[in-house]
């Protein structure tokens, strides 16, 4: 992952409409937006849930997918595994990092064969300790979303990675609502993650728009993940809270501008700031004065521009005598002042 810029991930997820060419064009579009990476999800309906219709397996609770069977949702959303290789290949060709969220050990093994460079643990999998342990054991950077996690869940996940010998961990603040209300983003928790767990921090965002991702940069996000779709008209389970190419490009641009605006802690002025000193105040002669005459409030002024003597000398100079003939508009210098006799 990049060290000096926020690592921006375009999440493909279910936004492929069941067509490989749509998935590939989404990869190309992600590159055009300026994203750093495209992320997949590697699972099957059978690796996530059971093909049953009892009440436990029917989605409820005010989601976009209420009344659907879990099995049917994941059967619709999943990315065929045979598509992974051409997607990884295209991403590499165009200079985009491609990686995935595995949902079981079989998916990790499959992704290892594709040289997957990063593993992302989805929010709902943060309690799947065997999966985290197995993915972390591969020695790749681990990105973990925290959407449904309490302190102990996060601590256990982080400790599991470390016990597997993997300390390259990024925790993403995530609100597991689809779409997520802006007022529930609670971005300050990213800093808490860094303090409590000694990890890198970032954001997995499901809000509408780009405000939350941009603000996260100011709070130290090193990773931003956002769902990406060619056109919401494609439809699908994640379309409603995904950004299209124009919107994602705007987000990337705004994030890069935010990074530039944050800058570094230094009192040293840039060259442009130094040139602005021309508009500062300094001491100038306001009336012609003959050699030997006194400086007064009438003939000595603190005015713009800033090429003369610093105004801090004003009171010290008043009442002293001038060492040469000076004219209105002359800069005042220390050499113009006769010391007290």
Write out pLDDT tens, residues 223-277.
999 999 999 999 888 888 899 999 999 999 999 999 999 988 889 988 888 899 8
pLDDT (tens digit, 9 = 90+) per residue, 271-308? 888 899 889 999 999 999 999 999 999 999 999 999 99
Q: How many residues does the chain have?
A: 341
Q: Tell me which DSSP letter residue 119 carries.
A: E
SS3 content of the chain, % helix, strand, coil (to 5): 40, 20, 40
pLDDT confidence tier of residue 1, bands split at 50, 70 and 90: very low
Q: 61: burial class by Cβ within 10 Å (0-12, 13-18, 19+)?
A: exposed
Is pLDDT above 50 for 131?
Answer: yes
Nearest CA to 177 out of 232, 132, 124 is that of 124
Give CATH for domain 7-43+78-262. Answer: 3.20.20.70
337-338 and 321-322 strand pairing: antiparallel
Fold (topology level) of 271-338: Type Iii Antifreeze Protein Isoform Hplc 12 (3.90.1210)
How far apart CA 171 and CA 142 sit, in angstroms, is: 9
| Residue 10 and residue 204 in contact, taking contact as beta carbons nearer than 8 Å | no
Q: What is the pTM of this model?
A: 0.86
Contact (CB, 8 A) for 73 and 132: no
Q: Are β-strands 223-227 and 7-11 bridged in parallel, bridged antiparallel, or unpaired?
A: parallel
Band of pLDDT at residue 4, cut at 50, 70 and 90: low
**% of the chain beyond a pLDDT of 90:** 83
The domains of the chain are located at: 7-43+78-262, 271-338
User: Three-state DSSP class for 219?
Assistant: coil
Res 313 pLDDT > 60: yes
In this predicted structure, which of 48-52, 89-93, 186-190, 271-275 has the lowest mean pLDDT?
Answer: 271-275
Instruction: Name every residue whose Cβ is closer than 8 Å to that of residue 67 and which is 6 or more positions away in sequence.
Output: 58, 59, 60
pLDDT (0 to 100) of residue 49:
94
| pLDDT confidence band for 150 (50 / 70 / 90) | very high
Supply the pLDDT for residue 236.
86
User: Is residue 62 over pLDDT 80?
Assistant: no
* DSSP class per residue in 247-271: HHHHHHHHHHHHHHHH-----PPPH
Average pLDDT, the chain: 94
Helix axes 211-218, 245-262, angle to 10 degrees: 20
State the burial class of residue 84 (Cβ atoms within 10 Å of its Cβ: 0-12, 13-18, 19+): buried
Question: How many whole angstroms separate alpha carbon 340 and alpha carbon 150?
Answer: 73
């Amino acid at each position: 992952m990049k060290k000096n810029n926020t690592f921006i991930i375009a999440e493909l997820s279910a936004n492929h409409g069941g067509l490989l060419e749509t998935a590939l064009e989404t990869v190309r579009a992600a590159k055009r937006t300026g994203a750093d990476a495209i992320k997949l999800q590697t699972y099957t309906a059978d690796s996530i849930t059971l093909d049953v219709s009892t009440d436990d397996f029917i989605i409820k609770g005010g989601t976009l997918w209420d009344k659907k069977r879990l099995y049917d949702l994941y059967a619709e959303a999943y990315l065929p595994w045979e598509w992974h290789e051409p997607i990884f290949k295209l991403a590499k060709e165009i200079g985009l990092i491609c990686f995935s969220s595995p949902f079981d050990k079989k998916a990790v093994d499959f992704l290892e064969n594709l040289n997957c460079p990063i593993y992302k643990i989805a929010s709902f999998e943060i309690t799947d300790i065997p999966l985290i342990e197995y993915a972390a054991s591969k020695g790749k950077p681990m990105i973990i979303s925290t959407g449904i996690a309490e302190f102990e869940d996060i601590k256990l996940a982080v400790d599991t990675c470390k016990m597997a010998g993997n300390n390259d961990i990024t925790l993403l603040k995530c609100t597991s609502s689809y779409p997520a209300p802006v007022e529930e983003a609670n971005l300050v928790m990213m800093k808490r993650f860094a303090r409590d767990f000694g990890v890198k921090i970032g954001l997995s965002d499901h809000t509408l728009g780009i405000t939350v991702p941009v603000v996260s940069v100011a709070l130290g996000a090193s990773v931003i993940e956002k769902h990406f779709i060619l056109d919401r008209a494609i439809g699908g389970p994640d379309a409603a809270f995904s950004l299209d190419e124009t919107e994602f490009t705007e987000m990337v641009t705004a994030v890069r501008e935010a990074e530039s605006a944050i800058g570094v802690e230094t009192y040293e002025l840039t060259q442009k700031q130094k040139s602005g000193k021309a508009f500062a105040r300094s001491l100038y002669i306001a009336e012609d004065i003959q050699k030997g005459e006194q400086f007064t409030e009438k003939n000595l002024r603190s005015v713009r521009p800033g090429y003369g003597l610093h105004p801090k000398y004003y009171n010290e100079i008043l009442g002293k005598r001038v060492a040469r003939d000076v004219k209105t508009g002359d800069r005042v210098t220390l050499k113009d002042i006769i010391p007290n006799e």
